[in-house]
Structure 1
Amino acid sequence: MTITMYQASVPVFQRLLDNCIAILKKAEAHAISSGGDTRQMIEAKLASDMFPLKVQIQILADGARGCVARLAEQALPSPDAGQFAVFNRGYHQDFVESHQTFTSLIAYLHDAIDYLDAIPPAKLEGSETTPVEVTWRGNTRYFHGLPFLRDYALPNFYFHLTISYAILRIAGVPLGKQDFEGTPVYSTGPAGPHQTWQH
């Protein structure tokens, strides 16, 4: 069985963004129940020279949306449209969106999921060789679809998701590996139906 570019991108991004929403909801509930400051948690960093949680989440949403938009050859508002930036911004001033609440961050992730949901699989057919351009501040990097997804977009996506998880874990949010992965799906055998893990 051949895995399509759609299968390797859209469902992966959607599932992990959805997992991230669940993690943020758990973080907000923990902050409130423990008498903590939700704003302080949103501003938390893993290290002083890294982006805070609120920016890590924005990077996730923008990266997933921007990756799929380029693979599907969707028109962008501009070559360097922020909501379609793909892991290529490195300065705090590059982030004009100011998400100061968990509600705002969660809504931003939902918007990205909805965007991905509107892309039909056929739009990514043959995108392995689609020329891809990523532009920011007048600098453009050039890719072809498959290495863009496999070697650039997905590793960056997992990086920022992992950093977000680590920020919240260090902040004391009771997260585990399954929060990151989501509910695993196992097969009963080589040709059997899939089953969801039961708690």
Structure 2
Amino acid sequence: MPKQDLQANLNVFETRLASLERILDKAKTELLSSTYLEADLLSARLAADMLPFPYQIIFTCNQPNQLMAWLKDESLPDPEIDPAAASFEELVNHLQKTRQDLTETRKTAEQTLLDRDKLIQLPNDLSFTLSGHDYVSEWLMPNFYFHFVTTYDILRAEGLGIGKADYMQHLMPVIVAQQART
């Protein structure tokens, strides 16, 4: 696999979480300010065998949080919130804290930190090892996008008026800059 640029990956996490935060703000304004109940959103899921909405937000944040912990040779701390009991506001706060932590990590993270191996432990005593670069590209990023898109899909299924432009908000600065030049 190609080598990953650490700063670029931290930026991807931060900018996509910023897009997700804007989507959640829209959900608060459009869904939760109407007759739609917060409890309905917090229990919403795409399929019976999938975890509900709060887990998707927390698992989206877990990917950059796992990377940041690994970069510091720390274990990922237990989540500050219980997904089964989290409020919408607590989920937003968790996302915002993850973004703040990414901003701080970007100041000190060194590319050479990816030149280590990462042991991935799975349920049922399964494990495997990836290079640091593969850990980011083959484990963290796919999991990040899976849970981000699942969050997006749940909100769409629950009636939130969002589209691809909301999902792709990270490109707005590029679009605005290019439009200003023309």
Once residues 63 and 7 of structure 2 are traced to their aligned partners in structure 1, the CA distance between those partners, rounded to angstroms, is 17
**Which residue is equivalent to 1:115?**
101
2:162 pairs with 1:195:
no
- The alignment of Structure 1 onto Structure 2 pairs a total of residues equal to 176
- C-alpha change, 1:136 and 1:16, in structure 2 (3 Å) is same
2:148 pairs with 1:161:
yes
Once residues 196 and 146 of structure 1 are traced to their aligned partners in structure 2, the CA distance between those partners, rounded to angstroms, is 32
2:112 pairs with 1:126:
yes
Once residues 4 and 142 of structure 1 are traced to their aligned partners in structure 2, the CA distance between those partners, rounded to angstroms, is 17
**Which residue is equivalent to 2:28?**
28
Which of 146, 154, 157 is the aligned partner of 1:170?
A: 157
Alpha carbons 1:132, 1:148 under 8 Å: kept: yes
Q: TM-score, normalised by structure 1?
A: 0.76
RMSD over aligned Cα atoms: 2.7
Q: TM-score, normalised by structure 2?
A: 0.83
The one-letter amino acid paired with 1:75 is D
Stretch moving more, 171-180 or 24-33 = 24-33
Deviation at 1:96, TM superposition (A): 4.2
**Which residue is equivalent to 1:50?**
50
Which of 149, 164, 169 is the aligned partner of 1:182?
A: 169
Deviation at 1:120, TM superposition (A): 3.8
Once residues 197 and 66 of structure 1 are traced to their aligned partners in structure 2, the CA distance between those partners, rounded to angstroms, is 37
Hey, which bits of structure 1, 4+ residues long, moved more than 6 A? none
Gaps of 5+ in 1: 84-94, 188-193
Once residues 84 and 102 of structure 2 are traced to their aligned partners in structure 1, the CA distance between those partners, rounded to angstroms, is 22
Q: Which has the higher helix share?
A: 2
Structure showing greater relative contact order (alpha-carbon pairs closer than 8 Å, 6 or more residues apart): 2
